[in-house]
């Protein structure tokens, strides 16, 4: 556990949440499980709200105050963001503010070499930010609400963080996947059916992304929690 006086500040890029309760009007929100996993690792989670006006010259100033970032799950990225028209009826949950803010924040984080853990939609944001594309629908429910093992490339940043080359209980909740890999990205994990499940940005000190949701069982599975622990170690080292 980190010294709380020097605990790294980890921003989670939030969501527009019109259904939030106990607030006046519409809200911004972030998932509790991400925050709890960061806290267990010794970090302090804060929300970066998806306000496009933040994307002027303040975004660089803002990110320089942070020690790391988490990009969490959510709806789909507008296919036009990766040069395609909408072709799959399964595409859901497109929110322009989410796309605009997350893509800009990801690119700025890469420029600043901030430690980043990008999860599910976050992996897709990383891929699109690097010029990659997505399969709009994978055509199977084999990766929807399923705990599955994943094979990880030995020696990768991901394998070192997890402490294993084969995490057994990875919670899959995705109907999309990487198609063309973005510039400088390395595929470092696959499921048994060869579905891409994790990537890393090779030029970065530590930018790691998983298609599965480690936060879902991190409270009970040390291997999944290790990802958040390593994010905090990287953020502390950067300080």
**Is this prediction's pTM over 0.75?**
yes
Tally of domains in the chain: 1
For the segment 153-208, what is each residue's pLDDT rounded down to a tens digit? 999 999 999 999 999 999 999 999 999 999 999 999 999 999 999 999 999 999 99
Query: Is 171 considered catalytic here?
Result: no
What is the mean predicted confidence (pLDDT) over 145-149? 97
Residue labelled with tokens 């930018």: 207
- Write the CATH number for 45: 3.40.50.880
pLDDT: is 187 or 18 the higher one?
187
Strand partners, 119: 210
Q: Which two three-digit tokens encode residue 187? A: 């595929």
Q: What is the model's pLDDT at position 163?
A: 97
- Statement: residue 1 has pLDDT above 70: no
Give percent above pLDDT 90 in the chain: 88
For the segment 45-66, what is each residue's pLDDT rounded down to a tens digit? 999 999 999 888 788 889 999 9
Residue in 98, 120, 200, 230 annotated catalytic: 120
Residue in 98, 171, 213, 226 annotated catalytic: 213
Taken as a whole, the chain contains a residue count of 239
Query: Is 213 considered catalytic here?
Result: yes
Which residues span the domain enclosing 204? 4-238
Helix/strand/coil (H, E, C) string of the chain?
A: CCCHHHCCEEEEECEEECCCCCCCCCEEECCHHHHHHHHHHCCEEEEECCCHHHHCCHHHHHHCCCCEEEECCCCCCCHHHHCCCCCCCCCCCCCHHHHHHHHHHHHHHHHHCCCEEEECHHHHHHHHHCCCCEECCCCCCCCEEEEECCEECCCCHHHHHHCCCCCCCEEEECCCEECCCCCCEEEEEECCCCCEEEEEECCCCCEEEECCCHHHCCCCCHHHHHHHHHHHHHHHHHC
Query: Is 215 considered catalytic here?
Result: yes
């Amino acid at each position: 556990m980190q010294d709380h006086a020097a605990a790294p500040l980890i921003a989670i890029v939030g969501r527009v949440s019109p259904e939030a309760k106990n607030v006046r009007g519409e809200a911004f929100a972030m998932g509790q499980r991400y925050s709890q996993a960061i806290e267990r690792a010794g970090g302090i989670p804060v929300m970066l709200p998806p306000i496009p006006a933040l994307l002027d010259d303040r975004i660089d100033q803002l990110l320089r105050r942070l020690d790391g970032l988490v990009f969490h799950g959510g709806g789909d990225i507008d296919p036009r963001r990766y040069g395609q028209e909408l072709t799959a009826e399964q595409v859901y949950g497109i929110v322009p503010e989410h796309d605009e803010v997350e893509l800009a924040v990801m690119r700025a984080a890469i420029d600043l070499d901030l430690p980043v853990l990008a999860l599910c939609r976050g992996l897709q944001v990383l891929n699109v930010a690097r010029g990659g594309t997505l399969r709009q629908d994978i055509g199977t429910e084999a990766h929807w609400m399923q705990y599955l093992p994943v094979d990880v490339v030995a020696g990768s940043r991901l394998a070192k963080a997890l402490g294993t080359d084969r995490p057994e209980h990875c919670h899959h909740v995705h109907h999309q996947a990487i198609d063309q890999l973005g510039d400088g990205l390395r595929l470092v994990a696959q499921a048994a059916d060869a579905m891409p499940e994790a990537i890393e940005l090779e030029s970065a000190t530590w930018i790691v992304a998983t298609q599965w949701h480690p936060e879902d069982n991190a409270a009970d599975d040390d291997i999944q929690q290790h990802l958040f622990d390593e994010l905090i170690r990287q953020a502390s080292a950067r300080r």
